[in-house]
Amino acid sequence: MTETLTQDRIETLAATDQITLDSAPADKRACIEYLLDLLVDAGRVENRETALEALLAREAETTTGVGMGIGIPHAQTDAVSEPSVAFTRSEEGVDFGSMDGEPARLIFMILVPESGADDHLSILSTLSRALMHDETRDGLYDAETPEDAQAVLKEAVA
Amino acid sequence: MSTERTVTIVPEAGLHARPAATFVEAVNDHESDVQVGHTDEDDLISAGSMIAVTSLGAEAGEEIRLLADGPDEEATLDALERVLTKPEDEIANVDT
């Protein structure tokens, strides 16, 4: 079955220890490493270097700044064995080179195994759909704890 | 008036990554407003927004609807069809 961000799966895919509301570094690469380290510390990543290489290769292809103040760095890599999502915020914004010129203030990372192309597209599209709504973005800006942020995501994909 | 066209997505990764970025840039390089959606849904979304296009999750082999409204509808749809029907490794050479 294709994995996606359903209400039932969010606690597994985006566990609260994969969410931090401390402000991320303003440099794009540092921000990507910061999100990756959340997943590493949560025990989701078997090989940090391999995952970082895949993420940076994806960024080199085209930016993952999708506009509306959102960045979604992502990669398919066998450095993970399960699809995993991390989230952080940036107060000053990170330049993800998005076409609308908006710096990213809400930044998600998606890592899925190499074989998980369907999971990848599914998680990315569900997350994007949720984030197009003002109330989702406002809820994530206003969240005071990782639990709050996770609850906003659950509500957004309902 | 507006012009509608249905196109089957060729790039292996679907409408994602470089094909998606090239697609959105092509929309914004033209004067017509373009909306895009799945063929089995009535809802259309802005094709000039990267997050909206990403939210479609359109896969290779899937048909999508394009609706252009403006002074260069046919030229816009022709350019978008060229982007959507090239294999990913040839995208850089597409004339949009």
Least confident of A118-122, B77-81, B90-94: B90-94
- Number of Cβ atoms within 10 Å of the Cβ of A11: 12
Tell me, yes or no, if B54 comes closer than 8 A to chain A by beta carbon.
Answer: yes
Residue of B nearest to A73 (CA): B17
**Nearest CA of chain A to the CA of B41: how many Å?**
15
As a whole number of angstroms, the longest Cα–Cα distance in chain B is 35
Whether the pLDDT of residue A36 is over 80: the answer is: yes
pLDDT tens for each residue of A72-91: 999 999 999 999 999 999 99
- Residue A68, phi-psi category: left (phi > 0), alpha (psi -120 to 50), beta (remainder): left
A58 contacts A109 by C-beta, under 8 angstroms: no
CATH number for the domain running over B3-88: 3.30.1340.10
Whether the pLDDT of residue B93 is over 80: the answer is: no
The answer as to CATH 3.40.930.10 being correct for domain A10-156 is yes
A54 contacts A77 by C-beta, under 8 angstroms: yes
Interface A–B counts its CB contacts (< 8 A) at 52
B26 contacts A43 by C-beta, under 8 angstroms: no
Measured between beta carbons, the chain B residues lying within 8 angstroms of A65 are: 50
pLDDT tens for each residue of B22-55: 999 999 999 999 999 999 988 999 999 999 999 9
Residue type, A69: G
**Nearest CA of chain A to the CA of B44: how many Å?**
13
Tokens found for residue B35: 């909306």
Measured between beta carbons, the chain B residues lying within 8 angstroms of A3 are: none
Measured between beta carbons, the chain A residues lying within 8 angstroms of B16 are: 121, 124
Report pLDDT for A29. Answer: 97
A2 contacts A122 by C-beta, under 8 angstroms: yes
| CA separation for the pair A98, B51 (Å, rounded) | 10
| CA separation for the pair A74, A77 (Å, rounded) | 10
Whether the pLDDT of residue A126 is over 80: the answer is: yes
Q: What percent of chain B has pLDDT over 90?
A: 75
Strand, helix or coil at B51? helix
Q: What percent of chain B has pLDDT over 70?
A: 99
Which residue from B12, B53, B50 is spatially nearest to A64, judged by alpha carbons?
Answer: B50
Q: What ipTM was assigned to the predicted interfaces of this complex?
A: 0.90
Beta bridge partners of A89: A23, A106
What band does A155 get if pLDDT is binned at 50, 70 and 90?
Answer: very high
B1: burial class by Cβ within 10 Å (0-12, 13-18, 19+)?
A: exposed
What band does A11 get if pLDDT is binned at 50, 70 and 90?
Answer: very high
Residue type, A56: L
Residue B63 CA, chain-centre distance (Å), reads: 11
B83 contacts B53 by C-beta, under 8 angstroms: no
Name the one residue in this structure whose structure tokens are 């942020």. A149
B75: burial class by Cβ within 10 Å (0-12, 13-18, 19+)?
A: middle
Name the one residue in this structure whose structure tokens are 């005071």. A144
Residues of B acting as catalytic residues? 16
What integer best gives the mean pLDDT of chain A?
A: 95
User: What ranges do the domains of chain B cover?
Assistant: 3-88
Q: What percent of chain A has pLDDT over 70?
A: 99
Report pLDDT for B16. Answer: 87
